[in-house]
Homo-oligomer: A and B are copies of this chain.
């Protein structure tokens, strides 16, 4: 199963909105074939492994990190192929949360007399496909938040200076993280101040701008380059600018008669247009708003070994904040690694 998980990971960044899946076929103590899901539309891992096998598979065991599919999608159901190949046993890390599958394949395999074992390396498998699991269970994109702050929680000096708090290695590391997600999201003030491109190292992600009053500068890099990848959310925008930007072909979603942008509805819309994951990069207010809305799934806190200080310096998580220490936002499953001279805290917020 470890091998299957390793194979699955090779599909990272290319299979969305599908999950990453790897498969290993074993006869006795011998691996007779391996496969993985390479990219969206390509054969599933089980089929890839079956087709690469150079011998009949009757009586062998299949290791796969996710329950095989039960339904017709871009490809026929894997479960039927496994049955027709006459596998003796199927070992599955986790069942598929997709309502179209959700244990149906497991039951079908068992009904055909195939031995099924579920749960091996379950946690690793769930973590590998955390985006897919969130998608299936909540019908929302997975939301990861990135922060680069000083030890005392500041992301700018009192004068608004923010370049740079973390080391070059950290900035490169953070850029690579963009490759893991479908879209990068920032508030319009970040666009105005930094004029970023928000690209990854391997791909051009979607760029989402939260822009309440449609203040985005018409000559910013996000519009000049890859404007087909730009998505703006706005509240009561001025008609003239709205039309001008739309004429440029930029996708703008608007909300009217609201005081603040309803972020959960933003996630509804993003999921509907096939954005399965977003990487929120700031600034202070935008990140704070995501925590206020209780919609953060994962955090990446890069902490530089520095003090900035100052009551007027911006902090990493702004906006409203929690109302009581009895209801804190706890961060579960924290891990710390050193990146350059900085420390990266990764974890999973739990909201109450």
Tell me the A residues contacting B by CB distance below 8 Å. Answer: 147, 149-154, 157-159, 161-165, 284-285, 288, 291-292, 299, 301, 305-325, 328-332, 334, 336, 343, 345, 347, 349
A325 near B288 with CB under 8 A, answer: no
The residue from B153, B158, B316, B334 contacting A316, defined by CB atoms under 8 A apart: B153
Please, which residue of chain B has its CB at the minimum distance from the CB of A154? B153
B residues within 8 A CB of A320? Answer: 158, 309-310
> Looking at chain A's contact residues, is the secondary structure mostly helix, strand, loop, or mixed?
loop
B163 near A325 with CB under 8 A, answer: yes
B residues within 8 A CB of A308? Answer: 317, 321-322, 325, 328-329
B329 near A318 with CB under 8 A, answer: no
A325 near B164 with CB under 8 A, answer: yes
Which among A316, A319, A321 has the highest number of chain B CB atoms within 10 Å?
Answer: A321
Number of copies: 2
A306 near B328 with CB under 8 A, answer: yes
Query: A284-B311, A305-B334, A309-B321 are known contacts; what are 17 more A-B pairs with Cβ within 8 Å?
Result: A149-B153, A152-B153, A152-B301, A153-B154, A153-B315, A158-B320, A158-B321, A164-B325, A288-B309, A292-B309, A307-B317, A309-B318, A309-B320, A310-B319, A310-B322, A311-B321, A336-B343
CA distance A160 to B344 in the complex (A): 28
The residue from B147, B154, B291, B316 contacting A321, defined by CB atoms under 8 A apart: B154
Which among A165, A307, A313, A336 has the highest number of chain B CB atoms within 10 Å?
Answer: A307
A310 near B321 with CB under 8 A, answer: yes
CA distance A158 to B306 in the complex (A): 24
B residues within 8 A CB of A291? Answer: 307, 309
B328 near A318 with CB under 8 A, answer: no
B318 near A331 with CB under 8 A, answer: no
A161 vs chain B, min Cβ distance (A): 5
Please, which residue of chain B has its CB at the minimum distance from the CB of A291? B309
A341 vs chain B, min Cβ distance (A): 9
CA distance A247 to B343 in the complex (A): 52
CA distance A131 to B316 in the complex (A): 34
CA distance A319 to B312 in the complex (A): 8
- Indicate whether A159 sits within 8 Å of B323 (C-beta atoms), given known contacts A149-B153, A315-B153: yes
